[in-house]
Every structure is written in structure tokens, then in C-alpha cells.
Structure 1
Amino acid sequence: MMKKVIIAGGTGFIGQYFKNRFHQLGYEVIIISRQQHNIQWDDRQAIVEALEGSELLINLAGKSVNCRYNEKNKKEIMDSRIKTTRILGESILQCKNPPKVWMNSSTATIYLHAEDRPMTEENGEIGAGFSVDVATKWEKELFSFDLPNTRKIALRTAIVLGKDGGVITPYRNLARLGLGGIQGNGKQKFSWIHIEDLFQIVLFLNNRNDLEGVFNCSAPNPVSNHELMKSLRDAMNVKLGLPAPRWMLEIGAVLIKTETELVLKSRWVIPERLEKEGFNFSFDTLDKTFKNIL
């Protein structure tokens, strides 16, 4: 019988990549989303039926944080994560044969702005502010469900880099326009993960029945924003990169309807648990990652 994987919120950049990769491995893939041809979030019966007898549930659902943090957007960002996680938890409780593993998205942004030391699962400090609130409530919702037959894992994912979408597109455009210099003071750390490594982490954790809880999903060699932009310019063979000071980013963020936090927050995250458990990254450096993507 074909193994079954359920991807909730599986219509975005990561979800579509995962869907294609699981198909290549011979899985049946079922998507839950707001889009017409998939299982809808308000169809509880269809969700329970889909989850029944599945090997793995991956929840990627949530409104993009690439927007202005006004009250309406903040509410949508929070609700879209908490409500979907709750629906999935309640649906698993109704299953006779629930999924063996439930992996829920979380974010490496849960940690504080760190320029002095890296954040690990064990010793990382939880930050403060709206983004951190979202992450902590999201994880709390996941771990609030008592599911004796389903392992629960929160994927604290860094910025995902891949060929066909995600943040690489705006960065590439900046570099192409000659604006690929440092952003802010350039010292803030940039933690990332190649989308294929993220997929391999999912497979790794799925196969390890002894592992659950929180995992940092980020490449083991974070760089500074200065190194990031230089590496990008080198990969694209662009000589000039004008810097963007904070005041300029503030104006730009308003114009393109986003927040400077996405660029200026120092995310210094190390995948300590994965490395201890023997996971090997194919794209452990930014140069390898850019070489593959660009």
C-alpha cells in the first residue's frame, strides 16, 4: 500500500517543493489549504479521513510575515497559525489510526536578536515582540495536545533558500540593481537553510522514532549580513553593491509593505540537536547554497 503524507498549507514555495519530492519517493500526497481543489480547512470530516492511516503530517500553514505589522495583519498572522494547528490537533484526536508523526512549522525568529552568541535548542534565549509571541503561541498550541500515538516535532526553521521562490528573489533583485551592499550595520547574523536540506531533515526526523520536541532547522554556518551580501554579489558576478542604512530600509519597507525586522534582526541559530543526532547537511555553507541556487 502507498504511504501517505499530508501537507497542510502546502501550496506555497516550501509546500510545493515537498509535494514534488514526496511524489518522487512514491508517496501519496494530500494537501489541506484554502485553494479550491484541495481539502478545505472547514471540512473537518475530510481532514480526519485524510489523516487516518497516514505516516506523516506536516503543517506549513500561516499567512506570510512579509507584510506591514498593522493590527489586521497581526491578527491574521497569529490566527492563521493557531487555528490551523488547533484544527489539526483536534482532527488527530478523532482518528482511529492517527498519523505516526506530526511536524509543525515554527520559526528561528523565536530567539532573541543575538550578536554575541549562537542560539541552540538547549541554551537559546526566547526573544520578545510580536514575531516571538507568534512563535511561542504556535508551539504551545502544538504541544498542548496529548497524542500518545503521534510524535510531535516543532521545526524552528531559519530563512529557506531555494531556486523558485522564497527570499532569494528579492535579494537577487537588489543585487542586480546594484543595491546588494550591507543592510543596516551589516553585523546582524543571517541563519538560513537550503530547501533540500529542510526536506532531508523531515525525512531524517520521520525515520527516527526516538526523536520529538523542538529542532532548529538551519545550516550550521551562519554568516553576517556583510558576508551574505558579498557572497550573493560574487555568485551573481555583480561588482557594485551600495549599502542600505537603517533609515533607508525604514522608508523602503513602508513602500514595499514589509517590515525591516526581516532584514535587520540578527538570527544566529545553530542546529545543535540535529548535528548531535548525526544529521549531515548537503548545503552547510552559503557558497555551496548559492552555487546550487544561482
Structure 2
Amino acid sequence: MKYNKIILAGGNGYLGKVLTAYYRDKATEIVILSRSPKAVSGNVKTLVWDGKTPGDWVSSLQGAQLLINLCGKNVNCRYNKKNRAEIFASRLIPTKLLGDVIEKMEQPPQLWINITSATIYRHAEDRPQDDLHGEIGSGFSVDVCTSWEQTFFATHTPKTRKVALRMGIVLGISDSAFPYLLRLVKFGLGGHQGNGRQYVNWVHQQDAAKCTEWVMENPDLNGSINCVAPYPATNNALMRTIRKVYGMPFGLPAPAWLLRIGALVIGTDTELILKSRWVLPTRLLNSGYQFLFPKAEDAVKDILSGNK
């Protein structure tokens, strides 16, 4: 099917590039809302916005079939006061702005997907959490996700269907977590982190993109939906899989105390590594979605194909 117009707010990051590539041949026009101008490339153009105030970009939303909001400061940082404030503001302000604009439009986007995070659930090693019966957790990252979704659903957009897509860690060769994990494996440091029993909710980048189209093509889907692979892996199992596929026979583990020191050195937070995110995509599966890469080994093989 050919779509008329796809809007990617904050679409110049890693996932935005994945989505642009996915929809380039599927859409007549792709519009990226960005803080910096970019040259037009084929059917892809960039409009400048600040994510805080209405501007000329507003008219581009008219008649779009899909708006995907990808705005948000990278959480791979120390959770100090300044960074916490920026993480909140970079998500809540653009989300509210888009809602206020859409509410007043005659022909608003048919579907608005807000990319949120599956880290909204509690630390879980006892049983999986899903989008029907999952338990919301506590802590800074959960507070961010909860406020984010509250802001998203608070705006009144009767002509626009809304889905908060709770994304897992997107696996791909060019960015996000996978290149970091692969570097550890290459240098013989790819053992488990912490005790290795914490679960990782991951999704292959092609499934992350395909899921947005699936949501668009299934109008009964709304509300909060988990976008994670149906076979989550423990940290130990995921690292073992990467080592196996890459061909590295060993990997030194990193105990929690060492991770805390390392996090201080590189300016990140150990929650990103040590929290157990055991999450399932129940609503997607119930709707009939079939994952391209349901298991970690298949995903890693595809990512590493030609990239050793």
C-alpha cells in the first residue's frame, strides 16, 4: 500500500533513520521535524521546529496518515538534576505541543504514535509483564514514562487515533545498545553484566519499523502497546548469543560493583544495564502480528551478517 504522508517528529536520530528507510518506498512524502535544517532528498524533506512552539511546520501535519513522535533526550547519561530535568522536558513539551496543535486541526493525522519505553514496568525476575496486566514500576525512569504517557493521552484529539508504543531496546548495527555490546564481545569482555539474570526487552530494528505500519493498518489498536520481541533474553543469554554468533569463545563478566565504577567514569547510570525488563508484546501477538525476528539468535545473525 502507498501512504500519502508520514511525519517523523524528532526523526533525525537512530530510530528516525530506520523509519525513514522503511517508509521511503511506501510513502509519497516523508516529513521530518527537526531542530536543524537538512537538504531535501527525494521524497524526504526536513522542516525546522523547536519542539516548543507552533510554526510553519504545523501545516505539514494536515492530512497525514501517520505521525510518529520520537522526541526525547538520550537517557544514556548520569541522572543528575540537570539531566533529569532535560529528560522530562524533551519528552513532555513536544508531546503536549503536538497534542495542542492536532486538537485544533481540520484534517489532523489519522494516527499518532508516541514512541515511549517498555521500561515503564517494574523490575521483574519472577514473571513477565505485558500490556494487559503488567505492573508499573517505580523510580526515575518509570516516572518519566508515566508522565510522558499521561501527557500524551491527556490531549483531546477525537479525529486522531493515539498509540503509545512502549519500545524495547532497538537492536541494529549502527547505533543504540548493540554496537556497545558487540565492542565488549570483540575485546573479550562480553560476559554477563551484574548477575546476568536480569531480562533484556529487545526488538530488531526492522520489527520496530514494521510494528508502526501494523498499528496503522489495524485501526482497532489504540492505547499503550508493547513493542518488544516475544522471546526476551536474560543478559547472560543475550551476551552468550552475541559471542556465539560473532565467534568469540569467551567473555569476561562484569560484576555490579565494577559496572557502578564504570558508569561513573563514562557518565551513565547502571539502571540501564541492571534493571530486569521482562516484558511481552501480548497485544501485538493477539492482533496477529508476526515478528520478523522473534528470537535473539536470529536477530543477532541478521545484524552481524556482513558486519564482522
Normalised by the shorter chain, which TM-score bucket?
Answer: over 0.9
Q: Which residue of 2 aligns with 1:261?
A: 271
Comparing 281-290 with 27-36, greater Cα deviation is found at: 27-36
Q: Secondary structure of the residue that 2:267 maps to in structure 1? A: coil
Deviation at 1:256, TM superposition (A): 1.1
Q: Which residue of 2 aligns with 1:277?
A: 287
Unaligned runs of 5+ in 2: 39-46
With normalisation by structure 2, the TM-score equals 0.93
In the alignment, is residue 170 of structure 1 matched against residue 185 of structure 2?
Answer: no
Q: Which residue of 2 aligns with 1:287?
A: 297
- Does the 8 A contact of 1:102 with 1:152 survive in 2? yes
In the alignment, is residue 40 of structure 1 matched against residue 22 of structure 2?
Answer: no
Q: Which of these residues, 57, 81, 85, is aligned with residue 75 of structure 1?
A: 85
Q: Which residue of 1 aligns with 2:237?
A: 227
Unaligned runs of 5+ in 1: none
Percent identity for Structure 1 against Structure 2: 45
Q: Which residue of 1 aligns with 2:43?
A: none
- Does the 8 A contact of 2:6 with 2:27 survive in 1? no
Deviation at 1:27, TM superposition (A): 3.2
Deviation at 1:166, TM superposition (A): 1.1
In the alignment, is residue 25 of structure 1 matched against residue 34 of structure 2?
Answer: no
Deviation at 1:2, TM superposition (A): 6.5
Counterparts of 1:36 and 1:44, CA distance in 2: 17
In the alignment, is residue 107 of structure 1 matched against residue 139 of structure 2?
Answer: no
Q: Which residue type is aligned with residue 24 of structure 1? A: D
Q: Which of these residues, 119, 132, 135, is aligned with residue 142 of structure 2?
A: 132
Instruction: After the TM superposition, list the runs of 4 or more consecutive aligned residues in structure 1 that deviate by more than 3 angstroms.
Output: none
- Does the 8 A contact of 1:161 with 1:167 survive in 2? yes
Q: Which residue type is aligned with residue 19 of structure 2? A: F
Q: Tell me the alpha carbon deviations over residues 238-284 of structure 1, each in whole angstroms, 9 at most, x when there is no partner.
A: 11200100000001111111111111110000000000010000100
Deviation at 1:47, TM superposition (A): 2.8
- Does the 8 A contact of 2:200 with 2:233 survive in 1? yes
Counterparts of 2:240 and 2:57, CA distance in 1: 46
Q: Secondary structure of the residue that 2:74 maps to in structure 1? A: coil
Comparing 126-135 with 254-263, greater Cα deviation is found at: 254-263
Counterparts of 1:7 and 1:60, CA distance in 2: 7
Q: Secondary structure of the residue that 2:55 maps to in structure 1? A: helix
With normalisation by structure 1, the TM-score equals 0.98
Counterparts of 2:113 and 2:57, CA distance in 1: 16
Q: Which residue of 2 aligns with 1:246?
A: 256
Q: How does 1:86-235 map to 2 (within 5 A)?
A: 86-235=96-245
Q: Which residue of 1 aligns with 2:15?
A: 14
Q: Which residue type is aligned with residue 212 of structure 1? A: N
Counterparts of 2:287 and 2:3, CA distance in 1: 29
CA RMSD after TM alignment: 1.2
Q: Which residue type is aligned with residue 30 of structure 1? A: V
Deviation at 1:36, TM superposition (A): 2.8
Q: Which residue of 1 aligns with 2:42?
A: none
Q: Secondary structure of the residue that 1:7 maps to in structure 2? A: strand
